[in-house]
Structure 1
Amino acid sequence: DLARRRVYYINKKGFLLAFKDAFFDVFIYKNYKKAFKASKLVPINAQVVFNRLNI
């Protein structure tokens, strides 16, 4: 969104807000499941792993 508005400078507070939004848009439950599948890692109980990801 910042790039579309041609914002070329961002302070620390603005960066953290933008990073938080991007982080929660990208790191979702479905992506974690795909990452385990792609890496061929098989947790004994995947739900335990997902529950510990304080997101």
Structure 2
Amino acid sequence: MKISTKKITGMDFLNLSLYAFAGLGMEVVLAYFIEPAIYGRDMSKWNSIQTILH
């Protein structure tokens, strides 16, 4: 069995950081804009079931 290796470049790290930033951005949009419209109240006024479902 041959083990293949790939040289890790700076572009790999850049891509991973951009994916992480995009994931956090989507979480902000979901938590502060979409879910309050679904639940009908601000995030601070959610009950425990709504917080778990989030």
- Give TM-score scaled by structure 1 length: 0.35
Instruction: Choose between structure 1 and 2 for higher RCO, CA contacts under 8 A separated by at least 6 residues.
Output: 1
Q: Which structure shows the bigger proportion of residues in helix conformation?
A: 2
- Give TM-score scaled by structure 2 length: 0.35
Q: Bigger radius of gyration, 1 or 2? A: 2
